[in-house]
Amino acid sequence: MDETNLIPDRIAATLRQFPPFSMLPPETITDLAQSAHVRVLVAGETVWHQGDPPGEDLYVLVRGRIEYHITNDEQTEMVAVRDEGDLLGLTPLLRSHPARTTAKVVEDSVLYGLPWRGLQRLLSTSDDARHYVNRHLFWTTRLGGEVNSLPAVESEGITSRAKNILQAHLVGGRVIQPRSPDRLLTCTPETSIHDAARVMARRRVPSVLVVDPAGHPLGIVTQSGIVKQVVAGELPRESPVKEVMASPVITVSALSSATAAILLMLRERIGQVCVTEDGTPDSPALDVFTNKDLLAQSGHHPAGLLREFRHARTVARLRELCDEVEKITGSYLDAGVSAIFLGQICAELYDELIQRLLELTTLEMKDTGVPLPSVPWAWISVGSDGRREQTLRTDMDNALIFGAAENAEEDEKNRHVFLQFTNAVVAKMVECGFARCQGGVMASNPRWCQTDQEWLDEIKEIGTSTEPDPLFRGIVLYDMRFISGDPTIVRPVRQAIIDSVRSNSWLQRRLAELVVETPPPLNFWGKFVVENRGDHEGEFDLKGRALAPLRDAGRLLALKHNQLRRYSTGGRWEDIRRNVPALEEMAKVAREAYDVLLSLRLQTAIARQNSGRFVDPSALSKLEKARLAHAFDVVRMVQTHVRLAFNLESR
Amino acid sequence: MFGWGRRKNEPEFVRNYCASTGRKFDRKRSFGEIPFVALDAETTGFDINKDRLLSIGIVPLNQGALDVANRQTWLVQQAASPNNEAVKIHGIAPSESAKGIPEAQVLEELLAAISGKVIVGHHIGFDAEIIGNGLRRNFGIKFRNRMIDTSMMAMRHLDAFHRTGYANQRPPGLDEVCVHAGLPVLGRHTASGDAFTTGQLFLWICGRLRVRYGRQLVAGDLLK
């Protein structure tokens, strides 16, 4: 029994339970533990005093509880609490500044001191661990302190994440299934290029397989080969295909992984892969797949689903596809894909769904003898749908704009037909699993099915009305996004909405008030404040308290700074970060925080099969808690900015 | 200069040890300046006269922190290591012991590591006797370090382990005190694990004393 490393191994095992150490390579933690300094302090002692210079070590609190106190003008107040797994003394070390707080032990504590230099080097090489530490640092903003982030060694890599996305695909990965053999297009080596090209054109395929009498693949004739050799080159089109075919043929066997085949094609830089009986060119060819075919076959891939949506003929099939989207969302979320990014993927898919539903309904109307009026119309998404955040089928938010006719009478007649249309579409959406909007924000509601003129008149009113209802309608409309129909009819309406806010500072202030209305569920001491009444007692309202302020602030600042290219909250913050230098840092952390919050909401929603609006803090892991606490600090920071920028009185 | 009866041809490390390690200590010396070293030994049994060392683990305690980087551990080669009840506790079988380092060499290295330091151990009296026997056998010297026994500290300073006057009361075991203190126990019945755990316990009791006295500790608080 060799006990040389017994102590550091045990220390390392303890450290690895906690972030950021859990995110670093295990062997580096063992190295770090070799030079640990272990301290034991009892309740009533102090780890350091306000004004003490930083030492050499960063402390990890392994057991116990420590409070940070600040003394100003003989007034002492507690500003933060650290418990098991927290890092101590990071800020002074990072800044080489004396401690701003006094760290008091309130429960007997065991501390592992780790050499800061070694740790700093480690952190600079791990993105995840560094981001965790950077978030951890954020609590000092509660003291009005500035934040110094740890720098990265190299540019932010996506390798670790990409691996996870790949894994997500492999989980749902399917095998290649050859289609019926008569689908396969073949010719002999002696066939003329012209004949081969004619067949390709007729069958609308990008290649012909050249086979020997036994059906073994010899080569493949592709469009690009013909273009290169015949169209751009000197080869006459009467020459045999063996002159232009690519050979040997890259082959895979049936029942191999579709994803692996795609990777093979990427690596070989080819557009087609041939499936043979045993996977080698020395057996009969079964099918030829393009990368598009494979994407569509690889199951959990969004590209495959998009195609399926396009080809679905019944609402029942569309419903199945929606369920599939939700499954993909779950596996992507597990793989750590950004929730903002997921929202974009889902928006594309759901847009395709609505497009398809509109097509189906248009046909139905025509069949029943009530065709749509001949005025231009457009289906638009508003609210969360408009912001591309409808990752799960929560409730729908949509509206219809149609062109005004000569007179009001004609408008009413058109509205009557359009309402029939929208009611049918909404009913189909409900069949697909979307809930009807509680607030009635649906194109089937006459108030959300209006002519462009009516919309413009209403928008004018939002700017001057003091009632809450028009303001609510306005907010929903600020996020409008064109889905289908005639885009030209939407543009003037959207422009009118934007102008109505930009020229109206009174309206801006009202919107700003909404942003700061709800404080984040984190008190000054970094503890979660939970709802204390109603069904959700003991939980906190993630949507109302954290997502909403960031979302509203993003919208307001995007309007103010004229960053209107993007529709999603994530995209808005991204654009603000790039184009408004004064807000760069804030927009960056706001986007990250929004992403974290959105992911958490989605995870809760999937786990609990509801909207994910309420979160139980005791159900969160240490890491999630830390992320959330950071996100709330960001919310507070954004709210403070909005308060100053829009001259709201501090409260 | 080394007192009476000392042989002139002693090896240098023995002389160094004897010169720098003594019973005298400045009672006013502050806690942070005292060089402590937590020590634990596993032995072939519980008979002071018969049993031998199997392994020793030490962890230095500097400025109130256990210094993991400078820990040391030795597996001692004992030709006559018996396969008895004690093996079940420490898990060092005779075959294992055979892979160790000869006793004389271990003790030489040990002397260099603990020279001039205050030894902290749980039931340290027994370990010290066994090590002392080894020192006498090999080098003809005594175990000279000042020692602090955490089990005695627990009896003296912690209400839960105070002397009750009950005749059969024994000083509390390491596990007992650690459970009371809420401290993690690391690798029980391995020399280095017990040394580490004892070191943590020592720091904890010292913390208690600091809070009780409302001041930093000095040597006089710990060494009578």
- Omega before residue A470 within 30° of 0, cis: no
Listed as ranges, residues in chain A with pLDDT below 70 are 1, 135-175, 255, 259, 295-301, 335, 394, 466, 521-538, 649-651
Please give the pLDDT value at position B74. Answer: 93
- How far apart CA B148 and CA B154 sit, in angstroms, is 11
| Token pair 């993007």: residue | A566
Span B170-184, average pLDDT: 88
pLDDT band with cut points at 50, 70 and 90 for residue B196: very high
List the single residue in B with minimal CA-CA distance to A4. Answer: B73
Contact B102, B75 (CB under 8 A): no
DSSP H helix total and E strand total for chain A: 24, 18
What is the count of residue pairs from A and B with beta carbons less than 8 Å apart? 87
CB atoms within 10 A of CB A248: 12
Please give the pLDDT value at position B128. Answer: 93
Contact B55, B93 (CB under 8 A): no
CA distance B183 to chain A (A): 8
Tell me the average pLDDT of chain B.
Answer: 87
Residues 6+ apart with CB under 8 A from A374: none
Contact B31, B217 (CB under 8 A): yes
CA distance A56 to chain B (A): 13
Yes or no, beta carbons of B186 and A38 under 8 Å apart? no
Burial of residue A491 (CB within 10 Å: 0-12, 13-18, 19+) is: exposed
Calculate the dihedral angle through the C-alpha atoms of A371, A375, A378, A382, rounding to the nearest 10 degrees. Answer: -100
CB atoms within 10 A of CB B144: 17
Helices (H), A445-583: 452-462, 468-478, 490-502, 505-517, 542, 548-560, 569-579
Chosen from A37, A66, A108 to mutate, greatest number of chain B CBs within 10 A? A37
The pLDDT of residue B115 is above 80: yes
- How far apart CA B224 and CA B219 sit, in angstroms, is 9
For residue A595, what is the enclosing H or E element? helix A584-608
Residues in chain A whose beta carbon is closer than 8 A to a beta carbon of chain B?
A: 1-4, 6-8, 10-11, 14, 33-45, 62-63, 108, 110, 113
Please name the CATH architecture into which domain B12-17+27-222 falls. Answer: 2-Layer Sandwich (3.30)
Span B37-56, average pLDDT: 90
Best CA proximity match to A537, nearest among A614, A601, A622: A614
Tell me phi and psi for residue A259, to 5 degrees.
Answer: -65, -40
Could you tell me if residue A348 is left (phi over 0), alpha (psi between -120 and 50 degrees) or otherwise beta? alpha
Residues in chain B whose beta carbon is closer than 8 A to a beta carbon of chain A?
A: 55, 57, 59, 64-69, 71, 73, 75, 91-92, 96, 181-184, 186-187, 190-193, 196, 199-200, 203-204, 207-208, 210-211
Yes or no, beta carbons of A44 and B211 under 8 Å apart? yes
- How far apart CA A171 and CA A167 sit, in angstroms, is 6
DSSP state of B66: E
Radius of gyration of chain B from its Cα atoms, rounded to whole angstroms: 18
Count of alpha carbons within 13 Å of A163, Cβ hemisphere only? 3
The pLDDT of residue B57 is above 90: yes
Please give the pLDDT value at position A110. Answer: 92
Residues of B in contact with A39 (CB under 8 A): 64-66, 203
Please give the pLDDT value at position A158. Answer: 33
Please give the pLDDT value at position A299. Answer: 54
Residues of B in contact with A114 (CB under 8 A): none
- How far apart CA A4 and CA A109 sit, in angstroms, is 26
* CB-nearest partner of A38 from B66, B190, B210: B66
Burial of residue B165 (CB within 10 Å: 0-12, 13-18, 19+) is: exposed
For residue A608, what is the enclosing H or E element? helix A584-608
List the structure tokens of A558. 């995007």
Helix (H, G, I), strand (E, B) or coil at A37: strand
- How far apart CA A194 and CA A192 sit, in angstroms, is 5
List the structure tokens of B28. 């006013």
Residues of A in contact with B66 (CB under 8 A): 37-39
Residues of A in contact with B213 (CB under 8 A): none
Give me the domains of chain A, ranges plus CATH numbers: 6-143 (2.60.120.10), 181-297 (3.10.580.10), 337-498 (3.30.460.10), 504-645 (1.20.120)
Considering Cα of B111, then B114, then B118, then B119, what sign does the dihedral take?
negative
Please give the pLDDT value at position A297. Answer: 62
Q: Tell me, what amino acid is at A241?
A: V
Yes or no, beta carbons of B68 and A7 under 8 Å apart? yes
Q: Helix/strand/coil (H, E, C) string of A177-209?
A: CCCCHHHCCEECCCCEHHHHHHHHHHHCCCEEE
List the structure tokens of A443. 């194109």
| Token pair 């126990």: residue | B185
Share of chain A above pLDDT 70, in %: 88
Chosen from B68, B90, B158, B180 to mutate, greatest number of chain A CBs within 10 A? B68
Q: Where are the domains of chain B?
A: 12-17+27-222
- How far apart CA A538 and CA A561 sit, in angstroms, is 39
| Token pair 């090999």: residue | B138
Residues 6+ apart with CB under 8 A from A569: A340, A387, A389, A550, A551, A554, A555, A594
Best CA proximity match to A475, nearest among A384, A562, A392: A384
User: A534-558: per-residue pLDDT in tens?
Assistant: 666 667 777 877 888 888 899 888 8
DSSP bridge pairs for A57: A115
Yes or no, beta carbons of A108 and B186 under 8 Å apart? no
Tell me phi and psi for residue A390, to 5 degrees.
Answer: -80, 65
Please give the pLDDT value at position A373. Answer: 86
- How far apart CA B197 and CA B176 sit, in angstroms, is 12
Could you tell me if residue A85 is left (phi over 0), alpha (psi between -120 and 50 degrees) or otherwise beta? left
Please give the pLDDT value at position A156. Answer: 34
- How far apart CA B84 and CA B42 sit, in angstroms, is 13
Yes or no, beta carbons of A3 and B211 under 8 Å apart? no
